[in-house]
Structure 1
Amino acid sequence: MTEADVSDAVLYSETDAGVAVLTLNRPERMNAWGIDMADAFYACVDRAEAAPHVRVLVVTGGGGAFCAGAHMGSSDTIGDSLSRSGDVDISKIIGDRPVSFLTGLRKPVVAAIDGPCVGIGLVLALMCDVRFAATGTKFAAPFAKRGLVAENGISWILPRLVGWGVAMDLLLSGRTFYADEAYELRLIKEVVASDELMKRALEYAESIALQCAPSSLAQIKQQAYRDSTGDVDEAGSRAEALMSDSLTRPDFMEGILAFFEKRKPNFPSL
């Protein structure tokens, strides 16, 4: 893996296979989310999304944490974030975009979660397309315990991943749960030993980057998120039109030839 660039709050690197790795880099605060991290993260995502050679993103955290929630300062300084009306300027915490923007990317996003994944950190992980977690990783959606609401779109994504009853349990209780339960609830794909986490996540991401057509990934991802709230007949009609279009692209011929010739496909970039 080659280092392409280092920003203050987020590290950015790329593998030769076409995977961009974004590492949250505020270990002194367990990578708690703040405007510094938000701006750096969005810039790194934009860079990866625009790069023709990048086909998959992996998001992780450095220093033994994924993201321990929002960075609100200390009890002595939290008042500084309040306006005279008593309102918090939320854009000064999460930045200028909702975390859900990850679902609108053309490229798959894989989360490699090691250490606390709490609050907005949990939302960030859930908005990734696939998640791996290290053994013992702690998860929580403690919004109710902080006098907050289900923030940043978690009320949209969580029920779709785990079902209504489980989502309500996790949101209403704000309880802590660990990687093994997260796996049982199908929030994560696999539980991996901490020292094997990035290796496994990269192995998975690189298999997608090397074997799947970027045009197909972009369309499938858009279909999945858009169709989750739509009518099944509409989804079927859209899929039919998209399928007809895909049959005319060189990606289809390359995919078929690679299959019959028992080789890795050489798909063009987006």
Structure 2
Amino acid sequence: MTTIRYEVAEGVATVTLNRPDRFNAFTPEMGAAYNEALGRADRDPDVRAVVVTGAGRGFCGGADLAFLAEVDEGTAQDVPEGIRPRLAMEIRKPVVAAVNGSAAGVGFALILFADVRFVAAEAKLTTTFSRLGLAAEYGSAWLLPRLVGLGNAADVLLSGRALTGEEAYRIGLAQRVLPAADVLPAALEYAREIAAYCAPRALETIKGQLRADLERPLDAALDAAAALMHASFGSPDLPEAMAARAEKRPPRFQPLGD
């Protein structure tokens, strides 16, 4: 059984963590397959958005504990290469996390680096790092305060406690909170709308702005936005968008190149 399922339909790549018997617990090999799936989606001109979800009742239970039990200081340098949650932020296409159930540790980091998060109301979300004697891994201490504020991030990371999907929504970590059965269908519908109506070049540009502006002062962000807007006027996307509106049809935007 493949540990990562990859399917494409209606402009959306669905990447499914597929170890339901282990609550989709991650191993470095599974991480490498996840990285490959996101890279494949980024290169595929037929893919305009990505949805990441988990098979079975949970999203991801964290790193496989059997694997963690074998890691020590001498072998730890081999661990991060296989698991790169930040890749979801770095690819050019929007990534929507459909968090159908609980997420812990690296599973929490996977949803953190998605662009948008749809979360089951009853899901339990936890970093677990402090309760395993670990540092806050995978850049979570960098990104989480930017999403929910320093106090909320400190609470989540220091205590290692579990948040419900409802609380995640309340502090701004989740953008939608839904019954578990509705999470994936809603995320897919959202992604299909992006695929049908949003220009791939604009999506790439805006993702790049969101990432870069985390570190830029306002004046630099405004200058960059002005330059990017000027370049946008020279692309075929705006005329196509205007023609589509006038003709009352979906736009036919060009796909991204390699």
Please give the range of the TM-score, normalised by the shorter of the 2 chains.
over 0.9
Q: Are residues 1:252 and 2:246 paired?
A: no
Equivalent AA in structure 1 for residue 40 of structure 2 = R
Query: Which residue is equivalent to 1:4?
Result: none
5+ residue gaps, structure 2, are none
The size of the alignment, in residue pairs, is 256
Q: Are residues 1:192 and 2:178 paired?
A: yes
- C-alpha deviations, 1:87-130, integer Å up to 9, x for none? 342434x4346321221110000000012111110011010000
Deviation at 1:196, TM superposition (A): 1.7
Deviation at 1:189, TM superposition (A): 1.1
Query: Which residue is equivalent to 2:227?
Result: 241
Corresponding residue SS for 1:199: helix
Selected match of 1:91 from 73, 78, 94: 78
- C-alpha deviations, 1:64-105, integer Å up to 9, x for none? 11111111307xx82x333xxx4342434x434632122111
- C-alpha deviations, 1:155-183, integer Å up to 9, x for none? 11101110111111111111111011111
Residue identity over aligned pairs, in percent, reads 41
Selected match of 1:10 from 4, 21, 25: 4
Equivalent AA in structure 1 for residue 66 of structure 2 = G
TM-score, L = length of structure 1: 0.91
CA distance in 2, matches of 1:226, 1:87: 35
Corresponding residue SS for 2:86: helix
Q: Are residues 1:59 and 2:52 paired?
A: yes
Q: Are residues 1:122 and 2:108 paired?
A: yes
Query: Which residue is equivalent to 2:99?
Result: 113
8 A contact 2:39–2:91 mirrored in 1: no
User: Cα RMSD between the aligned structures?
Assistant: 1.5
Equivalent AA in structure 1 for residue 175 of structure 2 = K
Selected match of 1:214 from 185, 197, 200: 200
CA distance in 2, matches of 1:255, 1:231: 32
Selected match of 2:124 from 138, 150, 153: 138
CA distance in 2, matches of 1:129, 1:88: 32
Query: Which residue is equivalent to 1:45?
Result: 38
8 A contact 2:3–2:17 mirrored in 1: yes
- C-alpha deviations, 1:158-217, integer Å up to 9, x for none? 011101111111111111110111111111111112222211110000000000000000
Equivalent AA in structure 2 for residue 11 of structure 1 = R
- C-alpha deviations, 1:223-264, integer Å up to 9, x for none? 011111111111111111111110010011111222333322
8 A contact 2:117–2:174 mirrored in 1: yes
Equivalent AA in structure 2 for residue 8 of structure 1 = T
Selected match of 1:71 from 64, 67, 82: 64
Q: Are residues 1:264 and 2:250 paired?
A: yes
Equivalent AA in structure 1 for residue 64 of structure 2 = H
